[in-house]
Amino acid sequence: MSTEINIKDKIKRNSSMFVNFVKSAVTASPKVQNNFLDVSAKVAETVLKIVKDADLVVDLNYKGKEFWSENRCKTACFVDGGVDKTSIISSAPLSIRAGSYVVKPDAISKREYFEESMVFLGDLYDPKNELYDFIDDDFEEDQMLNKKKDGARIIFEAATIVKHILLNKKFDYCFLHGPIEGTVMPFSVPGFPTFTKFAIENMFPFAVNKKTDVAARHFINVYLEALNYIKKGKFPIYGIVETSNSAPYVKNLLYNYKSQGKISDKDYNNFIKIIKKYKITDSHLLEIILSSGQALKPIEIKKQIQGFTVTTGSSWEDKMESFPKVFIGYIKTTDNNSPIRIESLNNSKNLIKDYEYILGTSRLLPNYGFPVGLNVVDKFAKIPNWMSKASRKYYATHLLRQAVKNKDQNTISLAVKILSKKARSWRNRPIGGITK
């Protein structure tokens, strides 16, 4: 009984679960509100029982000074992408980039470097843009534009990792800020454009033979190919996700138990319903269950799920099955943060060491509790303020000038380039469309 009280206490004291619930309590029925504490406490207690039964909880070791003197010889690469949210009527100027931060603390020279692995500056409404094949649709919604941006960012990030593998980089670790495998469902909508030949050529040089086939340049196919390539990478590659809005781990864990006959179908289904009703997520539950420095061993999860209305019956339906499964685990890195989700395409050989590395690097970012290298590359990948402002201004005036001159939207052309750059600095490069 004492565990229950303990858990209730924990929920009330500082969990995001409680905060989240209180926020949504306005809409919940009085009964749901009344039962929240009891139900969630009981859920947490049950899940704790199951993870213990499955022997999933591990205690990680971290001693600041020792940790770093052991790991200073390790080369780590951190990858993140950024999108400039510029929006101007009648044009969609965009700057997307993916960057890498590579560091080997004990290196004599060049202990660290940043790299702009992928950069696009251009206008997605420009028929000649070099990222997506142009589809003329006067009624395109913002949603589609956002999907295009997201798609481009996800592909850029994947392409960055692919590039590191391709160039045979000797990393001990590679971390991506975000899921290692994103859900592709949103990109299966009809009318989602294919990437240009030029873009594919620059991002995935090894896929040269496929570039003639239009379907092969669709996001889903390109991404699948990239993921398969990443799966073959020689160094451990992890995606780190700060908070989960759903409960994939808990659901899958219980599903496995159900499959093994350890839980009845009825109990399982009820449990899934309850989780939905009370808006309980992995983050919420695990925050209560795990204490600082503890982790949950990964379980294998299917990211792309069949049976969604959008994909049903479409040509993408079968593709979903081809996507690699993802190993998902959690680490609670600090007292004050929800556990972070660790995703990988392979089951690690040195799981504990890897997790301890993630824990150690996260301790340097106590307020966020995820590897500090990702915070570093995040800042780097974010389109700098001045850049966004400047590009906005210049695209606006430039486009206007062009439009007036030609009296024809379609002749607007910006000198945009996708650069698969190595050493050139972002700042030293002229802004697309300005310098002639």
Partner 1 sequence: MLKNSNWKSIGTVLGETFIDCFYFSLKNYKAKKGDIVTTDSKVPSSEGKIIPVTVWGKISTIESSNAFFPTEAAQELTNEDIDIRDTILPTTRDELICKVVILGYTKDEDKSSKLLPLIYPVRPAATVKYPSSEDVEALLISDLNSSHPIYIGSLLAREAVKIRIDADNLVSRHVSIFGMSGSGKTVMVRRIMHEMLCKNYPMLVLDIHGDYLGFIQKQKELYPDNKIKLFYPNLSVNSEDKEIIYTLIDKLGKPLTDPQKDFLNSLLEKVKYEGGSLLKYVKLLNQRSREYASEGSTSFKNIRPASMYVVARSLGQVAKKLENMEQTNFRHRKKMSKLKFVELADPATEPEKIISKGQLSILYLKGYETLPASAIVSILLENLFKHRQEVNEEIPPFLTIIEEAHNFIPSRSENKDDLPSVETIRKVITEGRKFGTGIMIISQRPSRLDETIASQCNSQIIFRMVNQRDQKATRDRSETLDVDDSKQLPNLANGQGIISGQVVNFSLPVQIKFDEKLINEDIGNENFIDTVENWDDSEAVKERQKFAQDFSDISDMDNRSAN
Least Å from the CB of residue 87 to partner 1: 19
What tokens were used for 11?
Answer: 């929920």
Cβ-based nearer residue to partner 1, 17 or 77: 77
Cβ-based nearer residue to partner 1, 52 or 389: 389
Q: What is the pattern of x (binds partner 1, CB under 8 A) and - over residues 74-113?
A: --x------------------------x-x-xx----xx-
Residues 302-318, buried b or exposed e (16+ Cβ, 10 A)?
Answer: ebbeeebeebeeeebee
Region at 261 (left for phi over 0; alpha for psi -120 to 50; beta for the rest): left
Our finding on whether 401 is near partner 1 (CB under 8 A) is: no
What does the alpha-carbon distance between residue 225 and residue 58 come to, in Å, rounded to a whole number? 34
Residue 309: φ, ψ to 5°: -60, -40
Q: Is 296 within 8 Å of 51 (Cβ atoms)?
A: yes
Size of the site for partner 1 (CB under 8 A): 43
Q: What is the pattern of x (binds partner 1, CB under 8 A) and - over residues 345-374?
A: ----------------x-xxxxx---xxx-
Question: What is the amino acid identity at position 30?
Answer: P
What does the alpha-carbon distance between residue 50 and residue 266 come to, in Å, rounded to a whole number? 17
Our finding on whether 379 is near partner 1 (CB under 8 A) is: yes
Least Å from the CB of residue 110 to partner 1: 9
Our finding on whether 198 is near partner 1 (CB under 8 A) is: no
Q: Give the distance, in angstroms, between the CA of residue 13 and the centroid of all CA atoms in the same chain.
A: 30
What tokens were used for 403?
Answer: 């439009």
What tokens were used for 370?
Answer: 């995820």
Cβ-based nearer residue to partner 1, 10 or 164: 164
What tokens were used for 119?
Answer: 């950069």
Least Å from the CB of residue 72 to partner 1: 4
What does the alpha-carbon distance between residue 349 and residue 359 come to, in Å, rounded to a whole number? 17
Sole binder of partner 1 in the list 52, 234, 393, 424 (CB under 8 A): 393
Stretch of 146-154, 182-190, 319-327, 385-393 lying at the interface with partner 1 (CB under 8 A): 385-393
Q: Is 320 within 8 Å of 304 (Cβ atoms)?
A: yes
Sole binder of partner 1 in the list 13, 31, 65, 407 (CB under 8 A): 65
Interacting residues with partner 1 between 406 and 435 (CB under 8 A) = 427-431, 434-435
Sole binder of partner 1 in the list 134, 198, 255, 394 (CB under 8 A): 394
Q: Which residues pair with 114 in a beta bridge?
A: 101
Q: Which residues pair with 71 in a beta bridge?
A: none
Sole binder of partner 1 in the list 12, 72, 276, 424 (CB under 8 A): 72
Sole binder of partner 1 in the list 282, 380, 381, 399 (CB under 8 A): 380
Largest CA distance in the chain: 78
Q: What is the pattern of x (binds partner 1, CB under 8 A) and - over residues 111-140?
A: xx-x--------------------------
Stretch of 7-15, 63-71, 185-193, 201-209 lying at the interface with partner 1 (CB under 8 A): 63-71
- Work out the number of other CB atoms within 10 angstroms of the CB of residue 157: 29
What does the alpha-carbon distance between residue 324 and residue 326 come to, in Å, rounded to a whole number? 6
Least Å from the CB of residue 71 to partner 1: 8
What does the alpha-carbon distance between residue 307 and residue 219 come to, in Å, rounded to a whole number? 20
Cβ-based nearer residue to partner 1, 122 or 182: 122
Using alpha carbons only, how large is the chain's radius of gyration in Å?
24
CA 149 → CA 34, 124, 221, distances in Å? 42, 9, 17
Residue 232: φ, ψ to 5°: -85, 0
Cβ-based nearer residue to partner 1, 205 or 430: 430
Cβ-based nearer residue to partner 1, 223 or 380: 380
Cβ-based nearer residue to partner 1, 65 or 266: 65
Catalog residues that contact partner 1 under the rule CB under 8 A: 63-65, 68-69, 71-72, 76, 101, 103, 105-106, 111-112, 114, 361, 363-367, 371-373, 375-376, 379-380, 384-387, 389-390, 393-394, 427-431, 434-435
